[in-house]
Amino acid sequence: MRLKLIAGNLAIVLLVGLGSYLVVRTQLLAELSRELEEGIGDDSELFARSWRADGARLAEGVSNRAASRDVRNVFTASGEANRRRRAFDAAQDVSKWFQDPARGRRERPHIVAVIDETGRAIARDTDPNRMFGEPLLNQVPVLRHVLKRGASRYGVWQQNDKLLQVGVAAVRNDQGGVVGALLVGYDLSNGFAKREARLVGHDLLFILADRIYSTSTSVEVRDALQEALYSPPLDNGTNAALQGKPTLPWTSTLGGDHYVGVTAALPMARGAEAGYVVLAHHGKHTALAGVATMILWLTLLGLLGVAIYGFIISNNIMEPIEQMEDDILAVINGRTDVRLEVETPELGGLSYRVNQLINLFTGVAEEDEEGRAVTSSGGWEAVSVSGPDSGARVSSAGPIESDDPEAAALAAVPEDDYYARLYRDYIAAKQSVGEDVSSIPEERFIERIRGNAAHLVKKHGAQMVRFQVETIGGQVNLKPVVIH
C-alpha cells in the first residue's frame, strides 16, 4: 500500500511535469521559429539600408576629394608624364585621407584611381604604372553615368578576383566641365562582412554567380553553404536573387546545425552579379526555448519532495492500520481483552467504532462520560459499592463485608453457582421478551462474561465484578456490580 500511495503521486507529478515541459518547449520553439522566419526578411532589408547609407557616405567622401585642388590639378598638367605623376600623388593623398578614422573607415581603400574623360585610368595608388590606360567604362557600371551626368555615385565593381564597393565622383575644371573622375573602392572582405553582421545581428555573406566571396561565418559553415547555395534546391533561388529577385526565407542544415537564410542582390550592383546572404543560426535564436528545461528540474525536485512526503504520510496512515489489523486478528484468535488503541485524528474514530463493535460481540461493558458502565446498546449501568458513600467494606483477607445486601449476596455466591445461575436468569429473561436463545451456548456465554469481568476489574481496580440480569423496556441487559 505504501508503494501504491507513493507511486501514484510520483506518476501524477511526472506526467504533469513532462506534459508541461513538452507543451511549453513546443510552443516556444514554434513561436521563436516563426519570429525568426518572419524577421529575417526585415534584417535583410536592414542590411540593404545600411549598404545604401554606407555607399552614399563613400560617394560623398569621393566627391569631396574630387573637388580638391590636388585632384583637379591632375588635369591641368602639361605632358603625359606630368599628368601621370600628379595623378599618382593625388591617388596616394586620397588613400591617406580615407584612412582617417574620422571618415568612418579605418582600413586603407583597396584602390584609388584617377580616370580621364574617356574612362581610361591615368594612375592608381600604390603603383603608378599599374592600370595605366586601362579602359574602365565597361568594368565599372556607374562610371559611365558619372562622366555623362557629372554626379557622384556608388556601386559594385568585380575587379578580377576582387569584389569592391566603389564610390565614383566627377572631376570638374574651373569652368564646370567634366574632365575626368575619381574612383575609390573597398574590398568586401571577411572583415567588412563581420562588421556588417554585428549590425544585422546575424551572419552575413557576399556571393558571386559561382561562389561565396566573403563571410562572417566559420570556414565549415561557409563550405557547407557554398555547396547548398549552388546546388538544388537552393540554386534557382540564388540565380534569381542575383538577378534582382530576393528569395523568401529558406532553411538548410549546415555542419549539423539548422539555419534560416535570405538571399538578395546587392543594391546598386548593376552590371555585376553580386549578392548577399543574411544567415541566422536557428538553434541560437531559439535558445530561449531551453528555459523549458527548468520544468524538468522542478519536476525532479517535485518528485523528490512527493517521495519524501508520501513516505512520511503513508507511514502515518499504514502503521496505525497495521496495528489495528494485528489487534483485530488477536481478538479473532480469542483474546477478548485486546482493544484497539489508535489515537490519530484520521483513524481514532474508526478505532473507537471497532472497539464498540468488539464490545458488542463480546458483551464487554464500556463507560460513558459520567463513569457509568454501559453496553454498546447503551443499556448497562454501573453500580459501584466502593467508597464512603457505598456502605461497603472489603477486607483484604477473608470474606467481603458489606452493608449492601445485594453486593454481599453476589460476592458470597460460589463462582460456579454464580455463573450457572446468571446464565439461567439471562436465558429466562431473553425468552420472556420473545428472543431466540438457541445461539447462546452456556460455555460461550460464561467465557465472555469472565472476559468482561476481568476487563472491568482491571479497569476499575476492583476485587471482583459480578453481573445481574435486568429487563428494561423489553431490552435484556447485564448490569455489572463493581466490588472493591
CATH of the domain at 227: 3.30.450.20
Q: Is residue 310 a part of any domain in this protein?
A: no
In-domain check, residue 235: yes
- Is 41 a member of any domain? no
Contact 279, 200 (CB under 8 A): no
Do 380 and 408 belong to one domain? yes
Statement: the pTM of the whole predicted model exceeds 0.75: no
The residues facing 470 across adjacent strands are: 477
pLDDT for res 229: 94
* Residue 99 counted as domain residue: yes
Q: pLDDT value at position 262?
A: 95
Nearest CA to 171 out of 52, 56, 70 is that of: 70
The whole-angstrom separation of Cα 465 and Cα 400 is 13
> 167 and 204 in one domain?
no
Domain assignment of residue 301, yes or no: no
**Is residue 45 assigned to a domain?**
no
Q: Residues of the chain whose pLDDT is less than 70? A: 1-2, 5, 103-106, 362-404
Within 10 Å of residue 301's Cβ, how many Cβ atoms? Answer: 12
* Confidence (pLDDT) at 86: 95
Question: Which of 140, 169, 187 is the C-terminal boundary of a domain?
Answer: 187
| CB-based burial, 58-75: b 16+ in 10 Å, e otherwise | bbebbbebbeeebbbebb
Residues with Cβ within 8 Å of 247's Cβ and at least 6 positions away in sequence, in order, are: 237, 238, 240, 241, 262, 263, 264
Domain extent at residue 207:
190-285
Last-in-domain residue among 250, 285, 320: 285
Contacts 24+ apart (CB under 8 A), 359-362: 362/331, 362/336, 362/448, 362/451, 362/452
> What integer pLDDT is reported at residue 228 of this predicted model?
93
So what's the pLDDT on residue 332?
83
According to the model, what pLDDT value does residue 113 have? Answer: 96
Note whether residue 152 is domain-resident: yes
